[in-house]
Chains A and B, each alone.
Chain A
Amino acid sequence: MAKSYIAFFKLELKVLAREPVTLFFMIILPVILTVVFGGAFGSEATKYGDHVLGIDTIVPVNIVFLLANVGLMGVPITVVELKEQEILKRYITYPINYKTYFVSLFSVFSFVSVLSTLLFSLIAFLFYGAKWHMNIWDFLIFLVLYIAMTIIFDGIGSLIALLVKGSRTSSMVTSGFFLSLIFTSGVALPVESLPAVVQKIAYMFPMYHCIEVAQMLWISEFRFTGLWDNILYIAAATAALMVFLGRVKVKWD
């Protein structure tokens, strides 16, 4: 199975490298956000103290935005396209484990996401005065969170792609969902400034919880007691999506 995984990984990486629009959203857009927000608020002190600048809170938000964008837009667009063109049908008839292709597809998106994260983080450190706050434990938990966020967003994107019929419908569903996340997670507007009802909706979506935990880890302010509900949400969502993804199969009927 490792051979098939590597074969698909190589092919998907080449295909992704040939898609300028996807690369723009995965690499260029996070850099633009870093430059724009870093230039505007990067050097300002934050409520966490003088040692934590605006740029230190922008980078983790950017990471969550990137992973959500990849999972909710990149993954479903790719899967739906493969499904409609019957390429997925061809792959599934190959003598491989059912999940091999999907795992390699997610691996490619994750690989490029990591490269993109490194790139805009480096820009934040080099040009906008971002500081490394995490200790080794924060960093290890952050890595676990990064994987969990990938599973959550890629999982939701795959479920939409596999369960919703038609590329137009699935693209509308993913875009609508992604926009809802953007406006309720604190990326576009602070959650506290949103109406009470919208705040309640924000708690139902994964992006809000991911940003809360990622930001606190990134600036080394992570305390389990203060974030237990967010951690619980992320852990439950990761577990549920892993189980669901393990069971769901493409329906051709």
Chain B
Amino acid sequence: MQVKITNLKKSYNKHLVLKNINMELTKPGIYLIAGPNGSGKTTLLEIIIGLRKPTSGEVLINNSTPDTLESKRAIGFLSQQNSLRRSCYVYEELKLVSEIYSIKNVNLPEYLSKYNLDEYYRYKTGKLSGGSRRRLLLAMTLLPMQEIIVLDEPVSGLDPFSRNEIWNMITEVSRDRIVIVSDHYLNQAAQYSDYVYLLDSGNVVLHGGIKDVNSFLKKSLVVKGRKNNHESIENRLRYLGIEIDLKVSGTVYSYYINETDKQKLKDLDIKDCNLNSVDFEDIYFYYTGKYSHDGSEENG
């Protein structure tokens, strides 16, 4: 199993959305494609599965182009929207998948029980909650047991509990398959992913194993303050002899600090700012100067 992307570029009306993307995925695991809305994640995933054509460059799925039947047999795809027929029953949607992929000897209600959906077997999909619909779509995507799975924001719009539930399911299947997942809830996604590609404005700004990416950034602490008091925070940090690296996003001022300066921070008055360990969202911000989302739901 292999996904190979070489010099991939994609533009819409002269606007370059993906700028020279290169990737070679050969090992099983979860590959996180991370980035804020508009960073090119969906475009990249939809080129991989053959829905969109690249402007230049090449994508090969097990040495075949994505639009071939061989590639389609090898790749399962979950789109961003809950793409279920509202007037269909759960069992009808599953049966359609099993008939198209000629899947036999699978007890569908039993299969659904793995996703806690067996009680909804005879429900119309329109009556399911958002989380259940997402779980059903994931169950449908994973039913044919393809070796490459592409999931476009599988946990988007779900509550933290449902997000964790779906991430656990994804982790389970990633042991022997390449699972490419896009998400903008970076901290949660990073907990489950094995590899990461950070996308920003169509470029891969950082990639590697999740642990490697965490260690690339030598700063381990971050002090965050607001625009109205940033000068005071900065002066206090400099007074303590702390080496700082400043990144600004809107009214948020983030001062990245080396691990070696941790002791000096004990004397810092933090009543008007926050001191935290650097998390994955901070790493993304450090490299792109942007947050992947507003962070309001980041508590999973």
Could you tell me which A residues sit within 8 Å of B by CB distance? 3-4, 6-8, 11, 14-15, 18-19, 85-87, 89-90, 92-97, 252-253
Contact = CB atoms under 8 A, between A and B. Distances in A.
Given A14-B88, A18-B87, 8 more contacts: A14-B92, A15-B85, A86-B83, A90-B83, A94-B72, A95-B100, A96-B69, A252-B46
B83 A93 contact: no
B75 interface: yes
Contacts, number: 63
Interface in B71-124: 72-73, 75, 77, 79-85, 87-88, 92, 95-97, 99-102
B46 A15 contact: no
Given A15-B85, A93-B51, A86 B101 contact: no
Given A11-B88, A15-B87, A15-B88, A90 B100 contact: no
A202 to B, nearest CB: 38
Contact of A7 (B73, B75, B85, B99): B99
Given A93-B49, A93-B72, A95-B72, A11 B92 contact: yes
A191 to B, nearest CB: 40
Interface residues of B, number: 28
B52 interface: yes
Nearest to A17: B87
B96 A11 contact: yes
B216 interface: no
Interface of B: 12, 46, 49-52, 69, 72-73, 75, 77, 79-85, 87-88, 92, 95-97, 99-102
18 contacts: A3-B100, A7-B95, A7-B96, A11-B85, A15-B87, A15-B88, A85-B82, A85-B83, A86-B81, A87-B84, A89-B51, A89-B79, A93-B51, A94-B72, A94-B100, A96-B69, A252-B46, A253-B12
A172 to B, nearest CB: 23
Interface centre among A15, A94, A97 (most CB of B within 10 A): A94
> Across chains A and B, which 9 residue pairs bring their CB atoms closest together, nearest first?
A7-B99, A95-B72, A86-B83, A86-B81, A95-B73, A93-B77, A18-B87, A86-B79, A87-B83
Contacts of B12: 253
Given A86-B81, A93-B50, A95-B73, A19 B99 contact: no
B79 to A, nearest CB: 5
B81 A253 contact: no
A3 B99 contact: yes
Contacts of A7: 95-96, 99-100
A87 B83 CA distance: 5
A252 B77 CA distance: 15
A92 B52 CA distance: 11
Contact of A85 (B49, B81, B97): B81
A251 B72 CA distance: 18
Nearest to A92: B51
A87 B125 CA distance: 13
Nearest to A90: B83
Nearest to A98: B67
A97 B100 CA distance: 11
Given A14-B92, A93-B75, A93-B77, A4 B99 contact: yes
A19 B87 contact: yes
B274 to A, nearest CB: 39
A90 B72 contact: no
A15 B87 CA distance: 6
Contacts of A86: 79-81, 83
Given A85-B81, A86-B80, A94-B100, A252 B87 contact: no
A105 B286 CA distance: 50
Interface centre among B52, B75, B79 (most CB of A within 10 A): B79
A121 to B, nearest CB: 29
